[in-house]
Chains A and B, each alone.
Chain A
Amino acid sequence: MDQNFRLSDGGLINRDKKLSFKFNSKTYYGYEGDTLASALIANGVHLIGRSFKYHRPRGFFGAGVDEPYAIVQLYRNGETEPNIKATEQELFEGLEATSVNCWPSVNFDIGAINNFLKIFLPAGFYYKTFMWPKSFWYKVYEPFIRRAAGLGVASTKHDKERYEHKYEYCDLLIAGSGPSGLASAYAAAKNGARVILAEDKSRFGGTLLTSDVNIGNQTGKEWAEGIISELKEMPNVTVKNRSQVFGYYDHNMLVMSERISDHLPKTKKFHPKQRLWYIRAKEVLISSGSIERPIVFGNNDTPGVMLSSAAKEYLKVYGVLVGRNPLIFTNNDSGYETAIEFKKNGIDPIILDTRKDPQSEIVEEAKNLGINIKFSYVVVAAQGYKKVKSADIAKISNNKEQLGSVENIKCDCICVSGFWTPTIHLASQSGNKTKFNEDIDAFVPGTSKQNETTLGAANGSYTLDRTLKSSFETAYELSKKITNNDNKVSLPNIVEKKSTTHDKFWCVPLPKGKNYKRFLDFQNDVAVSDVEIALKEGYRSIEHVKRYTTLGMATDQGKTSNLNGLQLVSNIENKIVPNVGHTTFRPPYTPVSIGAIVGREVGKHSKPTRKSPMHTWHEKNNAIFVDAGVWLRPRYYKQGNENLFEGSKREAKNVRTNVGVCDVTTLGKIDIKGPDAAELLNRVYTNAWLKLPVGKARYGVMLREDGIVMDDGTTTRISENHYHMTTTTAQAANVLSHLEYYLQLVWPELNVNVVSTTEQWAGAAIAGPKSRDLLQKLFPKSDVSNEGLPFMGYIEGDLFGVKARIFRISFSGELAYEVNVESDNGNFMWEKIMEVGQEFKIEPYGTEALSTLRIEMGHVAGSELDGRTISYDNSLEGLLSKKKDFIGKRSLTREAFIAEDRQKVVGVVPLDKKTSIPEGSHLVKDSNAPLPNPKLGYISASCWSVEYDNPFSLAILKDGKNMIGEKLFVMSPLKNKVIPVEIVSSHYVDPKGERVRS
C-alpha cells in the first residue's frame, strides 16, 4: 500500500509533488521535502540494514545527524556513494538506495549467524578471536571480515562532480538555526555585525518546527520563518541551509561543508556538488542544540525502537507515523510531548514513565487528554525480530533495582526518551574545557580557549525563555564589541509549557534468568556486557575502553552512546561521571566527503602547470612532455614511430655532431643587485667570487650549514653591482628563500637585493660543434669568436631587433651557449634559432638527451646533489676555497666527511657493453654473498652513451677515489638483474674538458 503511514494532512512536505524512488530495487513513493527515512517509514519500511558486528536487523533510531543505524548506499546520476544517512538524505525523483552490511539480502543475511556466535565476539574480539593460527588471517579471517563488515562500498570510478572551496570572514559565525541560533543571528545582524548563519538541515528553525510554543503571538515555526526571511534580506547576513559546521580549528577558523546538489537528482550545470567553506570568525556562537539520549534496555536495538524526539519530528515535519500502536518510554517530560502529538492525530499511545509522580503542565495535559500513563514503569525488553511486536514491561522499585512481575503488551514501536545531551562537539574541538552539569547528567561547555560561546540547549538550557533571553543578550554584547553599534532588539513575548525535572535513571536491570543484549552503541554493536568485560580485563581509561570495545568509534562518533557508556563505567568503577571524563571530540562532527576536502585540486589541477613561452612550438613539433617540478618540459621530440630511447639518442647524437637547441627557461634565475652583491656570493658559494670581472660567468656550488650540497649553477656579472644567478629547476624557490634568509636575518648589513626572474627570461641552450657558426649568424654584429666570447664569457647582443643575453656556458660538455631574451620574445628567439640553424642541421633536444649529454660528461646534477652528498662526493672539492669562510664550511671537518674511504662519484660501464643499468641499483663486491649483501654504493643516473654507443652510468661509490678499474656487480632486486661492471672515471667523454673551450 502506498504511504500507509502518512497522515492525511499536516507536516512541512509538499504534497503536490509526489516523487518515486527505489530502495533495495523496490519502488516506493514519497513527497518533496521528505528524507529517504521519512519516505520509507511512510511506506511502513522499518528494516533498513544489518548491524556492523552481529548483523542484527536495523531500523531507524533518529531523524537526523545522530542516526546510528540507517546508513545506505546511494545511487545518483550514475554514481554511487557509501555511508549516507537515510535520515539526512533528502528525497529526489529517481533516488535509488540499497542496504549495506547484509549479504545476500537484508531479509536473509548470512552474517546474522554472528548473532548466534555472539559469545565468541565480545569486547576486543578483533584482538582475540582472530589471532590464531596466524596463517588463518589472510585466507580465512580477513576475507570473511571484509565481506561481512563495512558501511558500504566506495566507488572506484573517477568522481565527475565538482567540489569547491571558499574562504570567508565574518564577525559572528552561528552554527545551528534553532531558537538560540535564530535569536542571536537576528540580534547581531540588527546591530550591524557581519553574520553567517549555518543550518545543517534543509529547513531552518530546529526544534521550533516541532515544539508547541508561542513567540510574539506566533507559533514557533511562524516566528522562525519570519526571522529567516528578514535575515535573508539583510546585506550583512549570509544564511546557509544544508551546511554543517563540522570542524573548529585554531585561531577561530571553522570549516563548513555545504551540500549544494545532494538533494537534487543531478547537479545543475556549472554548479558544484558541495562547497567547503573555510570561515575565519571574530566570534563563534555555537547553537548546535542537543540530542536525545536513549534509555538502555533489553533488545533495545530492535527496529521500531527509536528516540521519542525522532518520532515527533517524523510526525510534525513529515506527517508520518512511526507506528499506530506506540509505546513511549521516558524518564522526563519530553516523552509526553511526543505522546500528545500522537494523541492529537488520533493515535492512542501508552506512556511508561520511570518517575513515580511527576507534576508539571505537560504531564497534566497528557492526563487530561486521557492518555494511558504507567508511572514507575520500565520496558524490560523489546520483543520481535525484524520489527517490534510487543514489549516486556515491569514496575520498578523506588531505588530502581528491583523489577516487578514482567507483563507483555502489544506495541509496534517504542519511543524512548532518556533526557538530553548537549551537542558540545564544536566547543570541545575549540579547546573549551567542558564541565559536568549534574542537573542534566551531561557535559556542557566550560572555559573557552578561543572566542566562542555556546547558547541554548547546547549549553544545557532547556527552556525557551532562558534560551532566547541569553541569545539576544549575548549576540547584542558581542556585536556591540565588534561594530560599536548600539541597536538592541526587544525580546518577544514567550509562551511555553513548564516541565519538571527528569529522573536520572538510564539503564533497566535484567530480569532474573534473562540475558538480553542491552546496547550502548548502536552503530558498533557495543553492549553493556562488552564494557563490563573490558573493565574486568583491566581497562580503566575511558579512551582505552573506547578503543577496546569500539564504543563511540563509528561514523556517528557516539552521538547517542557516549553518555550512557560513561554512566556504565562510572557505575561499575564507583566513580562519578566527571571523574571518568569523556573521550576527546575531534573533527569532523559528521562524515565529510573526500571530494569536498580535496576541492578542485584533483588530477591536472592538483598543482599549477608552468609552461615556457615556447611551449606551443614544442607541442606542434611532437614533443613528449615530462613533469619537471611544476614545469612541463619536452622529454624528446618524437619523429615517426620513435620511442624515448631512440628519439633521445638521435637528439643527443646530433648535439655531439652538429648542433642542438634545448629549452632551458625552467632554470631558476635570480637577479642580484647592490654594492655588496659580490660579498653575498662569496659567502653563499664555496669558491671565490670577489674578483669575477664584469662580463664573466662562474660556476658555483652552495652548501647548507650542515655541509651538504644544496644547489649549483652559474652566476654572471652583468655590470659592476649586478649579477644574474641561475639555479637548478627544482631548487629555484628554496635558493631564493635561502638568500633572503641570510640577507634579512643573518647579514642585514649587506646592501643587496634579490628577486626571482625565472619567468622574466626565456632561455635556449645552443650546443654542439656547430653552435658558434650558428651563433654568428644569429648575431652578425657581435664578435662571438673564441677570443671575443671565450668560455664562461658573457655579452649582450641583438637578435634581429630583440635584445639578448648570451652566456658561453655548457651543461652538455660541448661548445655551447645560452641565449636569454625577455619571455615575450621567447618564441621569436626559438623560431629564429630553428630557422637559421637549418643549414647546420639543428634539432631541438629534450630533457632525456640533456641527461645523456651531462651524464657521459660526468656533470653532476639533481640525482647526485640529492641532499645527502657533500662537495667531495661530487668531485667538486676543487671549488672549496681555503682562503675564505662560507655557509656550511665549518661542517666539512666532520669525521665522516673527511674519512679516507669517503664515497665519491664514479662512472660505471657494464662488462658486456650492452646491458642497461637500472637507476637506483646497488653496487656490491660479490653477487653471491649471503644477504644482506654489503652495499658499496648506488647508481645515481644512467644513460646510453652516444659517444661510445654503450650503456654508461654514474654512481656514488664508497672509496670511489681508489676504485677506478675495479670490477663489481650491479644488483637490482626490483628488476631482478645482476650485471658485472667496471668502475671508470665519471668523466667518460672529453675528460680534459677541451670541447667547451674550443
Chain B
Amino acid sequence: MLHIKCPHCGMRSQNEFSYGGDATVKRPELNKEVSDQDWNNFVYNRKSLRGKHLELWQHLSGCRQWIKVERDTATHEIFRTFKANEDNS
C-alpha cells in the first residue's frame, strides 16, 4: 500500500485515495473545433509508461481534493505531490 503525501493533509495511506489517471492530459476547450484524432487521444489514448509518471489522485476519504502525484510506475517511488493548481514543472 502506497504512502501518499496529500499537499493539503500530509502523509496518508493509499486506501484514502482513488486513482484518476494521467495528469498531463488536457481537456480540449469547450466550444472549440476538435479533430477526431485529438478527441480520440483525449478520451481513449493513454501511454502506459514505465518510469516517472505524473498522475491524478483524489483524496476521497480525506479533503476530497484532486492532487497531482509524480510516481515511478515500476518502483512506486513517489517523488513529489502537487495541489491541483500548483505548477508541476
Contact = CB atoms under 8 A, between A and B. Distances in A.
Interface of A: 167, 249-253, 278, 280, 431, 449, 683, 705-706, 737, 740-741, 744-746, 748, 884-886, 890-891
26 contacts: A250-B3, A250-B76, A251-B1, A251-B3, A253-B1, A253-B3, A278-B1, A280-B13, A431-B75, A449-B75, A705-B42, A705-B43, A706-B43, A740-B65, A741-B58, A741-B66, A744-B65, A744-B84, A745-B56, A745-B66, A745-B84, A746-B27, A885-B30, A890-B28, A891-B39, A891-B43
Contact of B20 (A431, A683, A741): A741
A748 B85 contact: yes
B31 interface: yes
Interface in B1-41: 1-3, 13, 18, 20, 27-28, 30-31, 34, 39
Nearest to B85: A748
Contacts of B66: 740-741, 744-745
Contact of B39 (A249, A740, A890): A890
Contacts of B18: 737
Contacts of A683: 30
Contacts of B1: 249-251, 253, 278
A744 B60 CA distance: 13
Contacts of B76: 250-251
A706 B30 CA distance: 15
Given A741-B66, A891-B39, A748 B84 contact: yes
Contacts of B20: 741
B34 A890 contact: yes
B28 to A, nearest CB: 7
Contacts of A167: 13
B64 interface: yes
B5 to A, nearest CB: 11
Nearest to A250: B76
A683 B30 CA distance: 9
A343 B29 CA distance: 87
Interface of B: 1-3, 13, 18, 20, 27-28, 30-31, 34, 39, 42-44, 56, 58, 60, 64-66, 75-76, 78, 84-85
B45 to A, nearest CB: 12
Contacts of B43: 705-706, 891
Contacts of A737: 18, 58, 60
A705 B39 CA distance: 10
Contacts of A449: 75
B33 to A, nearest CB: 10
Nearest to B3: A251
Contacts of A890: 28, 34, 39
B43 to A, nearest CB: 5
Nearest to A741: B66
Residue picked from A278, A884, A885, A886, most chain B C-beta under 10 Å: A885
Contact of A250 (B2, B30, B31, B85): B2
A641 B66 CA distance: 52
Contacts of A748: 84-85
B19 to A, nearest CB: 11
Nearest to A249: B1
A465 B16 CA distance: 46
A449 B43 CA distance: 36
Nearest to A682: B30
A885 B28 CA distance: 11
Given A250-B76, A744-B65, 13 more contacts: A167-B13, A249-B1, A280-B3, A280-B13, A431-B75, A705-B27, A705-B43, A706-B44, A737-B58, A740-B65, A740-B66, A745-B66, A885-B30
A159 to B, nearest CB: 24
A683 B27 CA distance: 13
Contacts of B44: 706
A567 B1 CA distance: 36
Contacts of A250: 1-3, 76
A890 B28 CA distance: 10
A890 B30 CA distance: 10
A752 to B, nearest CB: 14
Residue picked from B34, B66, B75, most chain A C-beta under 10 Å: B66
Contact of A885 (B2, B31, B75, B85): B31
A737 B34 CA distance: 26
A323 to B, nearest CB: 48
A251 B75 CA distance: 10
A748 B27 CA distance: 13
Contacts of A252: 3
Nearest to A895: B36
B23 to A, nearest CB: 8
Contacts of A740: 58, 64-66
A362 to B, nearest CB: 45
7 tightest A-B CB contacts, nearest first: A251-B3, A885-B30, A250-B76, A744-B66, A885-B31, A744-B84, A746-B27
Contacts of A251: 1-3, 76, 78
A804 B3 CA distance: 45
Contacts of B60: 737
Contacts of B31: 884-885
A167 to B, nearest CB: 8
A235 B2 CA distance: 28
A886 B28 CA distance: 12
Contacts of B34: 890
A388 B13 CA distance: 54
Nearest to B65: A744
Nearest to A754: B64
A693 B83 CA distance: 36
Residue picked from B1, B18, B42, B44, most chain A C-beta under 10 Å: B1
Contacts of A745: 56, 66, 84
A655 B21 CA distance: 46
Contacts of A280: 3, 13
A349 to B, nearest CB: 50
A122 B58 CA distance: 54
A748 B83 CA distance: 12
Contacts of B30: 683, 885-886
Contacts of B13: 167, 280
Nearest to A893: B36
Nearest to A251: B3
Nearest to B29: A885
Nearest to A704: B43
Nearest to A278: B1
A705 B20 CA distance: 14
Contacts of B64: 740
A891 B38 CA distance: 11
